[in-house]
Amino acid sequence: MDLRHRIAVCGKGGVGKTFVTASMTKLLADGDNLKILAVDADPAVGLAPALGVSVKKTVDDIRNDLINKIKKGEKDKSEIAAMLDYDVFDALEEGHNFGVLAVGRPEEEGCYCQVNDLLKEIIESLSKNFDIVLIDGEAGIEQINRRVMKSVDDLVIVSDTSAKGINVASTIRHVVEDRKAVNYKRIGLVINKVRNKEEVDQILGATSLELLGWIPEDDMVREYDFNGKPIKDIPATSPSIVAVQGVLETLLDGTIP
Amino acid sequence: MGLFDEEIERLSAYLKKKEENGTVRKTKYNDHKDWPVKSSIVLKEDVGAELGNPETASESILVWTEDLEIEDGVIIVGPDLSEGKRHLPFAQILIFKGRFEDEYECYRKLRRMQRDVNLDGYMLRAVPQRIWIRVSKEALKKGFSLGILGRALIDRFKKENYIDAVEVIFVTSSEEVRELRDISNRVQRIVGAMNKMVEELSFDCDDCTYSDVCNEVLKLRKIRRKLKGLGHGS
């Protein structure tokens, strides 16, 4: 199956973006016939541990190493691209049917547009070998465009039930639409940590974002978080994971097995 | 003598020594079948064989000659992929016979071409002096071998009208890969000197870190004279 579907997940800090991205990765990878690339674009680098793997190198580590190499003399663009490609693949942490790439945080100031553009090209090119790309973003949506890729199929804004979370979701939507921060085909809201359906109805009265799904507050997620256990180990029958499966079905139009 | 002729002679001596030890298999281009073309990514759990990964010994050498005798063929030093070892050290040596007028451009083109070979179930990552390949379990089951890879490389390079012959050498045992380090470093120094001259157009030998290699390789001095003759530099 060749879906080549790209989903970016963003939202205010602490609303459960990493939970949503990691659960989606787990559900899709467990299906056994899809290859998933999970990109951690949040500088907090929480996606890899949520998937039970550890990151030894981030894309920004590679970027900074390469800037030093360029300063020492390498000038050929195709050779620089090959070096980045080699290092990016080396940085890819691999699990069952998935790979995780952590973008990290830039440490060195200055304009290295050529390196940044090449890195983005390499992530784009790497992603072509995977059926589905999931990006765990941050509230600053421009980061996805600037550091990962400029176009996605779905932009999923995650919020909890707080007014602040929903406000940030609306702001993200305006930033995306006004500044054309990321190209997308579909944008929608996933409400996380919901106690009852009435909360969802109330929120929907206050936002025009399409509802892609809602995830009930789940003690098991709290327990896994509290004990530092990987999200990927939460049983698929847990109510929150069942809800994420529903979101995936909405996004992928029932094409996932 | 050509830019890399001395290193090609050292490679011949290396192969001769390995032949005496009985670790060399020489094959002809036609001994190997065609393989379907497809860009592939091979993740860890699908790996049937992995060669030269960043944790193991790896060398990548690309050289050419206009005068020495080179024939199309694939030479394997050490075990092939069918011999059961999942992780192997790796060296890939490409020796070309042809006409290489613009040495700087030729080197770049040939490096790019070796990365352009896409085969179903085969993945390559390459940086100067290191090469890392993965072959999927499925490709191995279908009979993928280093000979098939060698043939695909030869096919790609011989599309260029300035290439007359290509000898591909694969080395897959640690000791034999390590023995290539000196030659690989030397080739890299020659390429570094050439790059510096062309990219920086600076011909001041007193300050140059490559003056030793320029003193020894006549062809580098010819490139220098050619560039200066074109009015570049002082």
What residue spans define the domains of chain A?
Answer: 5-251
Q: Find the farthest-apart pair of alpha carbons in chain A and give their distance in angstroms, rounded.
A: 62
> Does residue A78 belong to the interface with chain B, where contact is any CB pair within 8 Å?
yes
State the Cα–Cα distance between residues B40 and B134, nearest whole angstrom.
Answer: 10
B60 is a domain residue: yes
> What digits encode the pLDDT tens for the residues B112-127?
999 989 999 999 999 8
- B155: domain CATH number is 3.30.1650.10
State the Cα–Cα distance between residues A246 and B146, nearest whole angstrom.
Answer: 46
State the Cα–Cα distance between residues A123 and A84, nearest whole angstrom.
Answer: 10
B167 is a domain residue: yes
Q: Please give the pLDDT value at position A1.
A: 46
Q: How many domains does chain B have?
A: 1
B232 — pLDDT class (breaks 50, 70, 90): low
Could you tell me the residue range of the domain that residue B55 belongs to? 24-174
State the Cα–Cα distance between residues A26 and A241, nearest whole angstrom.
Answer: 10
> What digits encode the pLDDT tens for the residues B43-54?
888 999 999 999
Chain B positions in Cβ-Cβ contact with residue A85 (cut-off 8 Å): 125
> Does residue A94 belong to the interface with chain B, where contact is any CB pair within 8 Å?
yes
B105 is a domain residue: yes
For residue A164, the tally of other CB atoms under 10 A from its CB is 11
Q: Shortest Cα distance from B233 to chain A (angstroms)?
A: 18
- CATH topology for A5-251 is Rossmann fold (3.40.50)
- Would you state the structure tokens that stand for residue B11, as one six-digit string? 């490679």
For residue A161, the tally of other CB atoms under 10 A from its CB is 19
Chain B positions in Cβ-Cβ contact with residue A97 (cut-off 8 Å): 43, 45
- Which amino acid, residue A108? E
B1 is a domain residue: no
CA A150 to centroid of chain Cα atoms: 13
> What digits encode the pLDDT tens for the residues A111-149?
566 677 777 778 887 888 889 999 998 766 666 666 677
pTM of the model: 0.83
What is the secondary structure of A27-68 as a DSSP string? HHHHTSS--EEEEE-STT--HHHHTT---S--HHHHHHHHHH
- Gyration radius of chain A over CA positions: 18
B54 is a domain residue: yes
Q: What interface predicted TM-score (ipTM) does this complex get? A: 0.81
B85 is a domain residue: yes
> What digits encode the pLDDT tens for the residues A50-105?
999 998 899 888 888 888 777 766 667 777 888 888 999 999 999 889 999 998 87
Q: B126, A82: Cβ pair inside 8 Å?
A: yes
> What digits encode the pLDDT tens for the residues A177-234?
887 777 889 999 999 999 999 999 999 988 899 999 999 999 999 999 889 899 999 9
Query: Residue B215 class from Cβ within 10 Å (0-12 exposed, 13-18 middle, 19+ buried)?
Result: exposed
B138 is a domain residue: yes
- Would you state the structure tokens that stand for residue B53, as one six-digit string? 């990964």
B201 is a domain residue: no
Chain A positions in Cβ-Cβ contact with residue B42 (cut-off 8 Å): none
Q: Please give the pLDDT value at position B224.
A: 87
Q: Shortest Cα distance from A36 to chain B (angstroms)?
A: 11
Single out the residue of A157, A175, A184 nearest to residue A247, CA to CA.
Answer: A157
